[in-house]
Every structure is written in C-alpha cells, then in structure tokens.
Chains A and B, each alone.
Chain A
C-alpha cells in the first residue's frame, strides 16, 4: 500500500513541476505566437554566408 502512496506523491510532484514550468512559459508569452516558431524551426543557417568584401555569393 505504501508504494501506492509513494507513486501518488511522485505523480503529484511531477504534475506540479510541469504545471509550474508551463505557467512560467505561458507567462513568458511562449504560447502567444504559435506560427512563426514553427517556421524558424525549419530554417537552418548553415548555408548562410554573409557577403563580405564584395565577393560573390556562391550557391
């Protein structure tokens, strides 16, 4: 029986932990814009070479 109490406490702790993480993220406005973060995720910067000293940009 004690093991169930332990598990319940763990589950409550996990729940509260994630709840606070969520509230924090939410207050930080992470969920205001659900459109552009999804866009940023697919952009990789590896190919971007800032054109310096007038050299041609090579594809």
Chain B
C-alpha cells in the first residue's frame, strides 16, 4: 500500500470514537468506524449498522450491485476508510458539451482525479463500473497518482461515471491532461529507466568480456574482446553517462564544481586511458570498472528520485480550490460551464453545499458562506443581495445568484495561490553543508590529480596518469552524495509512518536554523471548530434527541458542535418532519409531534472570548440556550513551551479579532508584543518577512503567502493535496503535537551525517594518499568505491536507529 495513504482522520471523528468505545463495540458496516458520526447509529433491515447516512447509502449501493467482495478484499488490506459523508453532488455539468470539450484527452477518454482512493478494494470496485454502467466502456485506475482514465461508449454520458463513483463513496473531478504535471514526470522516469537498462546490459557484457581477458584469453582473442568492449562502451558512455557529462560541463561554465565533475573526469580519463593502452598494446583496460561506476551512479540517483517522488505524488492533482464547474444563467436557462470559462458580468447560481466558482456580488438570494479558506474564520457569514462573495468559499445553506467580477486566476483565491507559487520559487536554496564540503574536496582532488600528472611527466607519464585516475575514482566523495539522501529519506519515511508529511529533504536542515516561530490561531492553536461550553439543565432527554435529530441535518459548525456534544446520550434515530433551514436565523423541524426551532441567539463575549449561543424553542416557547466556542488544542501549550525552551521566539499571526487573539495568547503564555491580530494574508507575509529565519505554522490558504516567504512552513490538518502545494510539512494524525518530532529527527539526521562525513574524510584522505603513492591501482580503486558506499549505508542506519525506535 506504499503509494496510497490512509485518510486523515478529523478531530471530530476521533473524539467521538474515544467516547463510544466505552459504550459499545459496534463497527460501522461500511467504514468500520467505531462510533456513530452524528451521534446515532443507523440500522438497516438486515441487521447492519452504520455510522452515518452516507455509509448506509454506499453499503446498500455496493451490495445492490453484487459487489460484496469489496469488503472481503478490503479486510485483507491495512487501509482504513473514512466515513462516506454524504457529499451529494450533481454531476450534470459533465454532460454539457462546453465542459466536455475542455477535458477530453481523446475522443472518448477523460482523466478523473479520485479522492478517497486508498487500497486494492477501491481499485477493484472502480474498475467494475463498466460492468454495471452501460455508458462506460473502460476504467483504468492509476493508484499512484489517484487518477482514473475513463473511456465511454459512443453515446455514453460522462456523468454516469461520476454518479457511479459517488454511489460507492468516491468524489471525482475531471482534470485536464495538459495541466497534468505528472505526465511530464512520467516521461522523465521512462527515460531514466531506459538509461539504466542500456547501461546495465553494456556493463554486464563488458564484465564478461574483461573476465575472459583477465582469465587469460589468447592474445589474439583478448585483442578482439577488447575492441568489442570499445564498441559496447559507446552507448554506455554517450547515452548512460550523458547527463553526468552535461552536468559537469554546466557546472564548469557556472564555475561551481559539482560532484559530477570528478566522476566525469574519472569516466573520461578511464575510457581514454583504456583506449590508449589498447592502441599501444598494454593490458590495463578499465571499461568494466567505468561502466559499473556509471551503472551505480544512475541507479542510485533513480532510487533517490523515486523516494522523493513518493512524497510529492499527492501534491499536484486535484489540488485546486476552485470547483470544476459553474451553473451559468443565460436568460432563464441554466447551463453548466467550467469555472475557468466564466467571464466578468456572467451570472451564475450557487446551491447549498456548493463552492463559489468565481468572485462576484450577490444579485439575489440569501445564504451562509463559509470563508474559512480565505480568512480562517470558522463561522459562516450571512450574505444577501449586494454582498461580495469569493471563489473557493462554500455556501452552507441557502441559494444565491451571483454576478461575476473576476474568475480563474484573477480571483482572490487564485491570486493567493499563484502568489504562493511565485514566492516559493523565490525561496533561496539552502546550500547543503555536505555539498559544500564535497565541493571543496573536489577542488582538492582535482588539484592533487593535476600535480601527480605534472610531476610524473618527466619520469613515467603512464604510471602518473594511472595514479591520478585511481585518485579520481577512489577519492570521489560520491559516497557522501548518496549519504545525505539516504539519511534524509530514512527520516522522511519514519515521519510518514507517523503521519508527518515532509515535502523535501532540506526541511531537515532548515528546521535547525529556525529562530522565530509564527502560529496561526484558528485551526492551529485552536481546534478550528466549535465546542460546547455551556449546556442548559432544562432540556429533557427527549428534547436532546429531537435537537440532535434536527441539527444532524445541518452542516453549520454550531449544529455540528451540538450533535457532537450530545452524541453519547441518545438512542435510536428520530424522524424529522418539516425540516427548514433559514440562513442567518436557524433551523426548525418537527419531531414526535412537537415543533422545535433552534435559533442563533447572539454572538457575545465572555472573558474576552467569542462565544456563540443558540436558543432552543419548543412549540414556540424558549426552553434554554446552549453556548459554544472554539477550543484550544490540548497540545498547544506543550508545543509553545517546547519552542521557548529551544530558544525560539514564538508569535501569533491571526486574521481574527484582537480580543480573541489576546485570550488565546494569554492562556498559552504569549506576551502582548508577540500577538498580531486582524491581519489580511498580505499583512501576515509582511510581518513574517521582517523577521529572520522564521517558521509559519498554520492551517491553509489564508496564510499561504506568509508560508511561501517563511524559511519553513507547516500545515496542521486539512487536505493533504492542498497542504503540500503550499507548505513544506503537513501534520496529520497527532495534530500540532507531532511537530516536536521534526526537531528530533533533524538532530538524528545531523548526527548521522556528521558520522558519515568524518568517516569519508578519513577514508578519502587515506585512499587518496595511497593512490598518490601508487599503492592502489585503478581496478582496486573501482572495487573500493562501492565498498565505501556500503560503509556509508551501514553508518546511516546506525545513526538513524533512534529515529526508527521513536
């Protein structure tokens, strides 16, 4: 299951599990979640239980199609499913000509990004869709990139695939083949593999030929074999080693010697000397060693690149914050167009639970808009005629019609994203300590080799050349070139196991340089969701059940908080009649013959902290109020104090109001001078960039510009696809708490690298001395070179022991 990663468990979900394990040992039949998601188990007629309506629907759909094997296959996998929350999406836009045109890769094929794809069972069930859905000709899943290549029948509808996938609990979105970076990456990967294959075939046969010569072939045959070797060397040298030569050439032109330079010199010199010896009739032919050297270099680079790709694979696709389509209104007619094709002044409609496709002004209608992606504010805001709405924000209740102002890249969120990309390109590359050291070493070796050759000219040029050649091969600091990636990739894979995703290896170096730490408040230091703080005693058990029944149909954060709070006190689900949700006012419904209305009473302050209260009416009479607030994460205090112990200065950068920020700051021991509130994303960046070596820890888009400017950026929670686009590190499972691990791993990595460096300084100095003294022949040097790599490998494991044990 290496390429696929288990879903991020949200806090809401984990908290409930903790509660209900005490009460029952039930498992959701679909997702195996241990507790009901909205407070109540849902039962079906066949004795199955479900944690939510979504899981029930998916389970019924899977069984109804006779695809029961899905659960058997999944039980053999280590994957864990997340509850199939109902994301009832309308895929009719996929049937609109104008949308299809943009996404088709072939006449009948389209790529879809599949979210929720995790294990073999997912691959199995999605590839079964053509058997169930006559419109779909073929589905091929790429589990690594989480893509589905879908082919339809001549008269088929694309929406049928999306609807079928949705039925089984997967959300899909079409993606364009051309803005699909991984196509390019795959081309590179194929070229690399071809290079390795050609080098390997060349090197293998060269070894056989040279064995025959060493083992005493007749002189005539030996000569034939050697010339034959020359022929085999041609592709190895000009195809296999081409990038080594090109890199060295460009490093020479830039006057910065790269690690490739001594390798290139050794390869070139070894080949030239061998050909020269062959011409003058000497025995010293090094084609086999040279080709093995090239093979080793190419394959180690390939594996390191694949390791890195594994961590980047989730980054590119499906990460856009904009929805794929818009409901454009032309006249009285509603047509689906892709969100990017909206023009200024176009009118579009947005329904409940849909994401705004463009920036604009509300023309008609009323609704709640959750702007958390832009402002970090977790509570939905009421919008009415004339209000401004922004692309990427989500309508949570109501329906609105909007006149477009800006679309695509011009939208606020689009500009934030492109700004983030630009700023991350500006980020200065940290010169790696080892590379610097290796560079200096390269100079020394090159100079030493030149001296050896110069000195030998008056005496014996051939012997001198041979000594210099052994020197280049044996003293090449390439063991260090794999040493660093080896150590860092161990730290990376251990971190990944613990749910910490690190985008690139140099994070381990950068983290030690951090002096200032900036925390975002909402969703980082706090949970970013409401939590019940005051419950009223006047509610009877049947009121509570009615309340949960009604609120579980609303997606408002306050409703979620209520359902979560009462989740352990209710029995069988209750029917809700006449359910109605009025944006800005509240929800109402009838339960067991009584009319309940839950109304947002007010937003007030207590102790300077924002408290949301709702009032509950039964048959028109108020029966009590409930109060909720955004709670601190339990681990925040510990994390902040550890940062201070490490001698770093911590600050809070928040878009929230000053009093809220001060309240949180006080509880975590921040000074007033360390708190910044009421900030727009651009202002966050400005403050952050006035400090040196700063680290931004936040939850997403509203601090993405600041993140790109920061020396190191960390995202806590949210979607991984988006997180790794913006930040260097993404913390999932344990939230903020696991951030301390970063320092621990980084220290272990540094320790191992120091060990490797000391070893290779000693080893290279010794062998360099021996080669200059003529005690190491080029053949012996070529044998010693991989031996030193093995030593480096062993050292890196020894150094990283503590990381694996943690």
Contact = CB atoms under 8 A, between A and B. Distances in A.
Interface of A: 1, 4-5, 7-8, 11-12, 15-16, 18-19, 22-23, 26-27, 29, 31-36, 39-40, 42-43, 47-51, 57, 59
Given A4-B212, A8-B205, A31-B189, A40 B64 contact: no
Given A23-B197, A48-B66, A11 B144 contact: no
Given A26-B193, A32-B190, A11 B66 contact: no
Given A22-B194, A35-B4, 15 more contacts: A8-B208, A22-B193, A23-B197, A26-B197, A27-B190, A29-B190, A32-B186, A32-B189, A32-B190, A33-B143, A34-B3, A40-B123, A47-B69, A50-B131, A51-B65
Interface in B104-132: 119-120, 123-124, 127, 131
Nearest to A47: B69
B198 interface: yes
21 contacts: A4-B217, A5-B221, A8-B205, A8-B212, A11-B204, A15-B201, A19-B198, A22-B194, A32-B186, A34-B144, A35-B2, A35-B3, A35-B4, A39-B123, A39-B143, A40-B120, A40-B123, A43-B120, A48-B66, A48-B69, A51-B65
Contacts of B494: none
B98 interface: no
B522 to A, nearest CB: 36
Interface in B323-350: none
Tell which of A15, A39, A57 has the most Cβ of chain B within 10 Å: A39
Nearest 4 A-B pairs (CB), nearest first?
Answer: A51-B66, A36-B143, A39-B120, A35-B143
B144 A12 contact: no
A36 B142 contact: yes
A8 B69 CA distance: 52
A19 B197 contact: yes
A7 B205 CA distance: 11
B105 to A, nearest CB: 14
Given A11-B205, A39-B123, A50 B66 contact: yes
A51 B60 CA distance: 13
A7 B204 CA distance: 13
A29 B212 CA distance: 37
Interface string B56-77: 0000000111111100110010
Contacts of A32: 142, 144, 186, 189-190
A50 B204 CA distance: 51
A36 B66 CA distance: 23
Interface residues of B, number: 42
Contacts of B142: 32-33, 35-36
Contacts of A42: 73, 76, 120
Nearest to B204: A15
Contacts of A39: 119-120, 123-124, 143
A43 B190 contact: no
B172 to A, nearest CB: 16
A47 to B, nearest CB: 6
A20 to B, nearest CB: 10
Contacts of B3: 34-35
A58 to B, nearest CB: 9
Contacts of B198: 19
Contacts of B69: 47-48
Interface string B1-17: 01110000000000000
Given A35-B2, A48-B69, A15 B205 contact: yes
A26 B190 contact: yes
B221 A16 contact: no
B197 A35 contact: no
B208 A36 contact: no
B580 to A, nearest CB: 38
Contacts of B124: 39-40, 43
B209 interface: yes
A47 B71 CA distance: 12
Contacts of A47: 69, 72
Contacts of B119: 39
Nearest to A21: B197
B145 interface: yes
A4 B194 CA distance: 29
A26 B188 CA distance: 12
Contacts of A27: 190
A15 B145 CA distance: 32
Contacts of A29: 186, 190
A5 B141 CA distance: 48
A26 B64 CA distance: 40
A19 B189 contact: no
Interface string B183-201: 0001001100110011001
A1 B218 contact: yes
Nearest to A37: B143
B64 A51 contact: yes
Contacts of B201: 15-16, 18-19
A46 B142 CA distance: 23
Contacts of B208: 7-8, 11
A21 to B, nearest CB: 10
A17 B67 CA distance: 43
Contacts of B193: 22, 26, 31
Contacts of A4: 212, 217, 221
Contacts of A26: 190, 193-194, 197
B205 A35 contact: no
A7 B209 CA distance: 10
Nearest to A11: B208
A23 B131 contact: no
Contacts of B197: 19, 22-23, 26
A33 B120 contact: no
Contact of A1 (B4, B141, B217): B217
A31 B218 CA distance: 43
Contacts of B218: 1
Contacts of A57: 63, 66, 68
B190 A36 contact: no
A33 B190 CA distance: 11
A51 to B, nearest CB: 3
A34 B67 CA distance: 25
Contacts of B120: 39-40, 42-43
A5 B208 CA distance: 11
A57 B65 CA distance: 9
A40 to B, nearest CB: 7
A7 B221 CA distance: 14
Contacts of B186: 29, 32
Contacts of B65: 51
B228 to A, nearest CB: 8
Interface string B119-158: 1100110010001000000000111110000000000000
B15 to A, nearest CB: 32
